[in-house]
Amino acid sequence: MKKLLNGRIAVVGVAVTAIVAFFSFKSGDDRNFQIAKNLDIFNAIVKELDMFYVDTIDPNKTIREGIDNMLFTLDPYTEYFPEEDQSELEQMIKGSFGGIGSYITYNTKLKRSMISEPFEGTPAAKAGLKAGDILMEIDGKDLAGKNNAEVSQMLRGQAGTSFKLKVERPNVRGGRTPMEFTIVRESIQNPAIPYAAVLDNHVGYINLSTFSGNPSKEFKKAFLDLKKQGATSLVIDLRGNGGGLLDEAVEIANYFLPRGKVIVTTKGKIKQASNTYKTLREPLDLDIPVAVLVNSGTASASEILSGSLQDLDRAIVVGNRTFGKGLVQVPRSLPYGGTMKVTTSKYYIPSGRCVQAIDYKHRNEDGSVGTIPDSLTKVFHTAAGREVRDGGGVMPDIVIKQEKLPNILFYLVRDNLIFDYATQYCLKHPTIVAPEKFEVTDADYNDFKALVKKADFKYDQQSEKILKTLKEAAEFEGYMADASEEFKALEKKLNHDLDRDLDYFSGDIKKMIASEIIKRYYYQRGNIIQQLKDDDGLKEAVKILNDPVKYKEMLSAPVAKK
């Protein structure tokens, strides 16, 4: 790996380059003058710090922080990747990396990382690693004191290389059993389609998790397989899909739209950043009814697919307003093996609208940013004449009320209590029934409650915090004397009661426990099946797909009022 041999030489070299550039500009070019002037000032500051600052500065660290802060003032997507971080950028673009194929989490009590979710068919799963395994050593190096990012970096490496991993696995006696594995790293590609199936009433379902890699190929195969199995309508689930490659979104849209349709247009400052992307092939199916599930985690390429299908009246969009990322990034090569991922343009879907929700150019006085207010958004129209708006993601045709998870559930997950219970459950149950039939019984839940109480579980109650603030305000404004009895009664009713909360929110907690247990046996596929059991968004999508008259009406031009 290339390294800077001497920080001072590098800094002086850059300064000289900037000075030469400074004198090469025309005096009348004020913009170039300002750039050269500020580059000269920046380099002079670095030189002065290196020569005179009381402590020796690390030029790589100091300048890197300066670069990162400069780029952050633009938008969070313009990033610098030095040579040693190129694998991270490659993973972002291709959706693949060399590693073992598992999520890891940090155990705050043990101060060590542990396996949280091995992916099906990856080296982690093949070797026999299980959720709950505490990571002790990698090739003899103790992992104590290392955070998740450091451990993750050690687990990754070139595909085909091997290493020895020592873990400690919880056992039924309450202790931990030392184990050692020899693992060969592979190129890990997160599955673009972790689950696809034909549901009731011949409704096909495809969960599309990413647009990185080559998901269009997987999508085509999954869709054609579902049609062979009898699917007569389709749900595309893009919830939580943060995007990826623009071309892949266009390709998948092409499966349901005629050749020659404009899917997205990019517009930037320079000519090379402005392009129009059209469907280039014959479609797979122009007639099958389609519904697309979206939420606030649906972003970028996912918004291109869902938004273009909405703008061209080809699908009903169901769920919640999408994230609102309408900015396009491209990689630009830099000296010394570095790369900058830079925002070069905005994208516009067929109606002409841009879904970008945050205006990074016009910041508040304190530097913060905010979403574009609804009052400043503009009305556009779909191909059939339906009204849609810009400035804030894709608004669904059918909005689903967002489920609010109870406060206690956040703390149960944060303290790894649901995770620890699932680990114990799996030690006692070598197998479980299929995900479709699995459920957490009352007896199982009683065992979980016992584990929570034994752990001396503590959590914040928002009602108690708000009541305390209200009391302070009442005292400050002089109302406390007259309202003291009412406050006492309210305090009694809002008293912290763990038993009551565990019983009252048992439905939500049981669902989370079931998901954690099922993915130990059936991986991501099983977890998705569990989550779809009581899914309001899916229910609405299936409902509209099973009503051809309503489906056609929703995608048609609005009837003019007399």
pLDDT tens digits for range 247-285 = 999 999 999 999 999 999 999 999 989 999 999 999 999
Residue 453, pLDDT above cutoff 60: yes
In this structure, the number of other CB atoms found within 10 A of the CB of residue 1 comes to 6
Is residue 268 within a helix (H) or strand (E), and if so which, with residue range?
A: strand 262-268
Query: Could you read off the pLDDT of 25-79 as tens digits, one per residue?
Result: 444 578 889 999 999 999 999 999 999 999 999 989 999 999 999 999 899 999 9
Tell me the per-residue pLDDT of 209-221, one tens digit each, with 9 for 90 and over.
Answer: 999 889 999 999 9
So what's the pLDDT on residue 87?
A: 75
Q: pLDDT at position 382, please?
A: 96
Contact 252, 215 (CB under 8 A): yes
Q: Give yes or no: residues 273 and 383 share one domain.
A: yes
Q: Do 169 and 246 belong to one domain? A: no
The answer to whether residue 561 is domain-embedded is: no
Is residue 454 domain-shared with residue 466, that is, in the same domain? no
- Is there a single domain that holds both residue 467 and residue 453? no
Non-local (6+) Cβ contacts of 131 within 8 A are: 114, 115, 116, 117, 118, 419, 422, 423, 426, 519, 520
Whether the per-residue pLDDT at 158 is higher than 70: the answer is yes
Query: Are residues 148 and 227 part of one domain?
Result: no
Interacting residues of 341 by C-beta distance below 8 A, sequence separation 6+: 77, 78, 79, 81, 89, 92, 329, 330, 331, 332
CATH of residue 101: 2.30.42.10
Q: What was the pLDDT predicted at 101?
A: 93
Percentage of residues in the chain having pLDDT higher than 90: 70
What is the Cα–Cα distance from 274 to 402, expressed in whole angstroms? 37
Q: Which amino acid is at 487?
A: F
Domain range for residue 373? Answer: 195-332+344-399
pLDDT in tens, 175-202: 999 999 999 999 888 889 999 999 999 9
Final residue of a structural domain among 21, 48, 68: 68
Residue 348 has pLDDT above 50, yes or no: yes
Tally of domains within the chain: 5
CA distance 353 to 349: 6
19 has pLDDT over 60: no
User: Active site includes 311?
Assistant: yes
- Spell out the residues 6+ positions from residue 17 whose beta carbon is closer than 8 angstroms to its own: none
Task: Classify residue 235 by burial, with Cβ atoms within 10 Å: 0-12, 13-18, 19+.
Answer: buried
553 within some domain: no
- At which of 163, 189, 215 does a domain end? 189
Of the residues 102, 212, 233, 300, only one is catalytic, namely: 300
Active-site position among 311, 390, 397, 420: 311
What does the pLDDT look like over 123-142, one tens digit per residue? 999 999 999 999 999 999 99
Sign of the dihedral through C-alpha 552, 394, 312, 256: negative
Among this protein's residues, is 2 annotated catalytic? no
- Residue 199 placed within a domain: yes
Nearest CA among 455, 450, 448 for reference residue 512:
448
Catalytic pick from 146, 325, 449, 519?
A: 325
Residue where a domain stops, chosen among 363, 379, 399 = 399
Q: What pLDDT is recorded for position 491?
A: 67
* Same domain membership, residue 259 and residue 129: no
Question: What is the C-alpha to C-alpha distance for residues 392 and 378, in angstroms, rounded to an integer?
Answer: 11
Residue 332 tokens, joined: 């630009």
Query: How many whole angstroms separate alpha carbon 341 and alpha carbon 335?
Result: 14
The CA distance from 7 to 28, in Å, is: 35
Top pLDDT among 368 and 436 is at 436
Same-domain check for residues 305 and 322: yes
Residues 316 and 296 in one domain: yes
The answer as to whether 217 is a domain residue is yes
Radius of gyration for the chain, computed over Cα atoms and rounded to the nearest angstrom: 28
Answer yes or no: do 418 and 298 share one domain: no
Residues 34 and 107 in one domain: no
Residue 338 inside a domain? The answer is: no
End-to-end CA distance of the chain: 73
**Helix, strand, coil proportions of the chain in percent (round to 5)?**
45, 20, 35
> Residue 360 and residue 537: Cα distance in Å, rounded?
32
Cα 185 to its chain centre, rounded Å, is 25
Task: Spell out the alpha helix ranges (H) of 56-213.
Answer: 59-72, 86-94, 123-127, 148-155
H helix runs in 389-438, sequence order: 407-414, 417-428
What confidence tens digit (pLDDT) does each residue in 507-560 have? 999 999 999 999 999 999 999 999 999 999 999 999 999 999 999 999 998 766
Does residue 475 have a pLDDT over 90? no
Say what the pLDDT of residue 559 is. Answer: 67
Residue 2 resides in a domain: no
Q: Is residue 554 part of a domain?
A: no
Same domain membership, residue 105 and residue 143: yes
Q: What is the spatial distance between Cα 200 and Cα 316, in angstroms, rounded to a whole number?
A: 19
Q: Is 552 assigned a catalytic role? A: no
CATH value at residue 358: 3.90.226.10
The owner of tokens 């939580």 is 240
β pairing state of 290-294 and 233-237: parallel
Q: Are residues 221 and 261 in the same domain?
A: yes
- Rounded Cα distance, 154 and 149, in Å: 9
Confidence (pLDDT) at 461: 64
CA distance 538 to 534: 8
In a domain, 154, yes or no: yes
